[in-house]
A and B are shown apart, each in its own frame.
Chain A
Amino acid sequence: MVYEALDFYDIDSLLTEEERMVRDMVRDWVEDRVLPNIEDACRDGVFPDEWRAEIGEMGILGAPLKGYGCPGLSYIAYGLICQELERGDSGVRSFASVQGSLAMYPIWDFGSEEQKEKYLPGMAKGDLVGCFGLTEPDYGSNPGDMITRAEDKGDHFLLNGAKMWITNGTIADLAIVWAKLEGDIRGFIVEKGDEGFSAPEMKGKHSLKASVTSELVFQDCKIPKDRMLPSVKGLRGPFSCLNNARFGISWGAVGAAQSCFNSAREYALSRIQFGHPIASFQLVQNKLSWMLREITKGQLLAYHIGKKKDDGSWIPEQISLAKMNNVDMALEIARMSRDIHGANGILDEYPVMRHMANLESVKTYEGTHDIHNLILGRHITGIQSFTREP
């Protein structure tokens, strides 16, 4: 049956024809390629390489970036791409988020002309895969105290340290690595095959199983001097990447929620108990109406912050709110949808349990739910509460 995405407030009518066409292209690809294969990919714990190639062929990587072979689409279009990919699976959206917002974006914004020319066209096509190394085993929400160090050795830099929870790490051709150089956080481009660099895969995940998660290990890793991103210093570098990725997540979560809602609605209409479809019972209707309400609010948040990204009037706290709210509602909807599905909800015949497990990661990465609350708390009160230091 044709997928009818929930659009209660007719956001569709606010989109340009180009945005709708891009959305439909990605939606068709997800239906043809992801949905029939996602359960196998999860079971095998792989991100199929043909998905990388096909996402590259569609030309959606680094969606809102302009020039250097990048698509130059609106932020709304980027959001729609994330929404459709994540309706398939959060792991597929993660691949695109990391590539576009966390690896291409810092090169595009903070890289030298040579770095942009060298990497961006190949990354836009998906021929080169990037990853983003900020989080460390002991420094997650508190990246400012990272241990990874870079030393200037005259004709090269020497990196030492380790990163963890790095999406795309093992399959990446290059990594954007944030490390301290004489006390300042700087961005470095480390290429696969650089001396002293390895990226072992982390196994045993119950979530984002169709996405590659890795450690990045630097043991006297030697990189040429022209691999440092010249135009950014401090946490502003990684944080501006995260703002873009978080923006994409606020849309992606809507896609996951729509998938769970859709499945719950269809199931409730066809499942007969006590002689009637369970959709006719008030408790089930209450759940479905709560889902519709929350998804609609989430869509409006995502759309509005998308417009603000496009006209440049946004502040990071607004993105924090959208990411936090939408992932939270999507996770709650996944759980509620599982509940409506009864025991069937735990089967891989339905997408809900997979989305639910994925969304637990999405709630945590790119700024945990709680950290986004603290960002908003600081915004409201003017008092930071991340650390006990004054």
Chain B
Amino acid sequence: MGVAVLLKQVPDTTAKISISGGKVDESSIAKWAISPYDEYALESAIQLKESGFGDVVAITCGPSRAAKCLTEAAAVGADRLIHILTESTLDSIQVQSLLSASVKETGCDLVMCGKQAADTNSGSTGPGLASTLGFSFVGGVTRVSVNGGLASATRLGPSGLEEVEVGGPCVFTFDKGESELRRPNVRGIMMAKKKPIDSLSPEDLGVNGTNSLVIIKDHSSPPEKQPGQKFIGSESIPEVVEKLREEANVI
């Protein structure tokens, strides 16, 4: 028994992103962080562990820099750390097959991750993983607890809060939760430093390094917002009315 938490390292949401040659220039990113929704998944997994449920296994898939988010997870209480080391850009199916192979290896039948990553916003990992693993799927939860063999979760549904109960293995994806995220402390950091990271290649997991079928062909910044226009005094009323009629088409 245990919970597998999937963590993606993304540029910090406040970091400046610059694009060069149709690609995000990674060297210009000042700070990398665990994707915020994944942090809620991690918090919930640690709470489950504190309530007597099994160990927390943190898994990340990405280049060597991504190991940092595993150490950060260990500093707040993750027990086992798995790094699927991939240097090339993968598409969603490839990521899902790597993650599901590693989840199988851990034997965890609860999987938690964010509902979407802060960089791609695609939201495909959770549902895709559930499909590959043959697990149930509950998306957009804010809380998960386990009682006996049953997991129950709270999620914001279209008509209010839903309480969901799941019997078997399940993938939960997290929305911004109710609980405050815990901070690391020095004791946790010192323990994290000693915790080994299992570094696995796709081959170790029996997943062949097939080429990505979906690739991003180009990247560009969103168009810059036009500066606003200012009109002062009643003499500008005719001009404003004309602009609203001719340019904005709102009257």
The answer to whether A and B assemble together is: yes
A34: min CB distance to chain B, Å: 13
Chain B residue at minimal CB-CB distance from A61: B186
Among listed B11-19, B115-123, B152-160, B224-232, interface-contacting one: B11-19
Give the residue among A2, A22, A28 with the most B Cβ atoms within 10 A. Answer: A2
Closest to B12 in A: A2
Name the one of A1, A22, A28 contacting B189, with C-beta atoms under 8 angstroms: A22
Task: Report yes or no: B16 in contact with A21, Cβ–Cβ below 8 A.
Answer: no
Choose one: B12, B16, B31, B184; the contact of A25 (CB below 8 Å): B184
Interface residues in B101-140 (C-beta closer than 8 Å to A): none
B237 within 8 A of A: no
- Given A1-B14, A2-B14, A17-B71: A22 in contact with B193 (beta carbons within 8 A): no
Instruction: Give A71 to B186 CA distance when docked, in angstroms.
Output: 7
Residues of B within 8 A of A57 (CB): 183, 185
Q: Please report which residues of chain A, range 155-187, place their CB below 8 angstroms from some CB of chain B when the two chains form the complex.
A: none
The residues in B between 154 and 200 inclusive whose CB is less than 8 angstroms from any CB of A are 183-187, 189-190, 192-193
* A15 located at the interface, meaning its Cβ lies under 8 Å from any Cβ of chain B in the complex: no
Given the known A-B contacts A2-B14, A2-B16, A2-B30, are A21 and B189 also in contact in the complex, defined by CB atoms under 8 Å? yes
> B31 and A73: CB pair below 8 A?
no
| Complex-state Cα separation, A29 to B182, whole angstroms | 11
B75 adjacent to chain A (CB < 8 Å): yes
Q: Which of B16, B30, B186, B192 contacts A59 (CB 8 A)?
A: B186
Instruction: Mark out the residues of chain B between 2 and 30 whose CB falls within 8 Å of any chain A CB in the assembled complex.
Output: 12, 14-16, 30
Q: For chain A, residues 230 to 254, give those with C-beta under 8 angstroms from any C-beta of chain B.
A: none
Question: Is there contact, CB below 8 Å, between A21 and B12?
Answer: no
Distance of A1 Cα from B17 Cα, bound (Å): 11
Min Cβ gap A375→B in Å is 33
Interface size in chain A (residues, C-beta < 8 A) = 18
> Residue A29 contacts which of B12, B71, B183, B192 (CB distance < 8 angstroms)?
B183
Assembly CA distance A58 to B188 (angstroms): 9
In chain B, what residue has the closest Cβ to A31? B14
B184 cross-chain contacts in A, Cβ below 8 A: 21, 25, 58
Which chain B residue lies CB-closest to A72?
A: B190
User: How far is A54 from B185 in the complex, measured between Cα atoms in Å?
Assistant: 10
Nearest A-chain residue to B75, judged by Cβ? A21
- Asked whether, in the complex, the Cβ of A4 is within 8 Å of the Cβ of B30, the reply is yes
Q: Residues of A contacting B71 with CB < 8 Å?
A: 17, 21
Which chain B residues border A60 with CB–CB below 8 Å? Answer: 186
Asked whether B186 lies within 8 Å of A58 as measured between CB atoms, the reply is: yes
Which residues of the partner chain A approach B192 to less than 8 Å between Cβ atoms? Answer: 21
Residues of chain A lying within 8 A (CB to CB) of residue B30: 2, 4
Residue A18 interfacial (CB < 8 Å): yes
Bound-complex Cα distance A123 to B34 (A): 32
> Is there an interface contact between B193 and A59, defined as CB atoms closer than 8 Å?
no
Chain A hits for B185, CB < 8 A: 25, 57-59
User: Whole-angstrom distance between the alpha carbons of A104 and B192 in the complex?
Assistant: 26
Interfacial chain B residues near A63, Cβ < 8 Å: 186
Within 298-324 of A, Cβ neighbours of B (below 8 Å) are at none
Contact pick for B183, options A4, A28, A71, A73, CB 8 Å: A28
Q: Give bound CA distance, A340 to B187, whole Å.
A: 42
Residues in chain B near residue A29, CB distance under 8 A: 183
Q: Is the CB of A18 within 8 A of B183?
A: no
User: Which A residue sits closest to B14, measured CB to CB?
Assistant: A2
Distance between Cα atoms of A18 and B31 in the complex (Å): 17
Shortest Cβ distance from A4 into B: residue: B30
Q: From B14, B72, B190, give the contact of A18 (CB < 8 A).
A: B190
Q: Is A22 within 8 A of B186, CB to CB? A: yes
CA–CA, A353 to B82, complex, Å? 47
C-alpha gap A342/B30 in the complex (Å): 29
Closest Cβ–Cβ distance, residue B26 to chain A (whole Å)? 15
Q: Which partner residue on chain B sits nearest A60 by CB separation?
A: B186
The residue among B12, B71, B183 with the most chain A CB atoms within 10 A of its own CB is B183
Q: Which of B31, B183, B186 has the most CB of A within 10 A?
A: B186
Residues in chain B near residue A54, CB distance under 8 A: 183
A71 and B192 CA atoms in complex are apart in Å by 14
CB of B160, distance to nearest CB on chain A (Å): 31
A22 CB contacts on chain B under 8 angstroms: 186, 189
Q: Write out the residue numbers on chain B whose beta carbons fall within 8 Å of the beta carbon of A17.
A: 71, 193
Bound complex: CA of A28 vs CA of B76, how far in Å? 14
A25 and B189 in contact, given A2-B31, A4-B30, A58-B183 (Cβ under 8 angstroms)? yes
B residues in contact with A18, CB < 8 Å: 189-190, 193
6 further A-B contacts with Cβ under 8 Å, apart from A18-B190, A21-B71, A21-B184, are A2-B12, A21-B189, A21-B192, A22-B186, A25-B183, A59-B185
Please name 18 pairs of A and B residues whose Cβ atoms are closer than 8 Å in the assembled complex, sorted by A.
A1-B14, A1-B16, A17-B71, A17-B193, A18-B190, A18-B193, A21-B72, A21-B184, A21-B189, A22-B186, A25-B183, A25-B184, A28-B183, A29-B183, A54-B183, A58-B183, A60-B186, A63-B186
Which B residues are closer than 8 A to A by beta carbons? 12, 14-16, 30-31, 71-72, 75, 183-187, 189-190, 192-193
- 9 tightest A-B CB contacts, nearest first: A59-B186, A59-B185, A2-B14, A2-B15, A71-B186, A4-B30, A21-B189, A2-B31, A58-B185
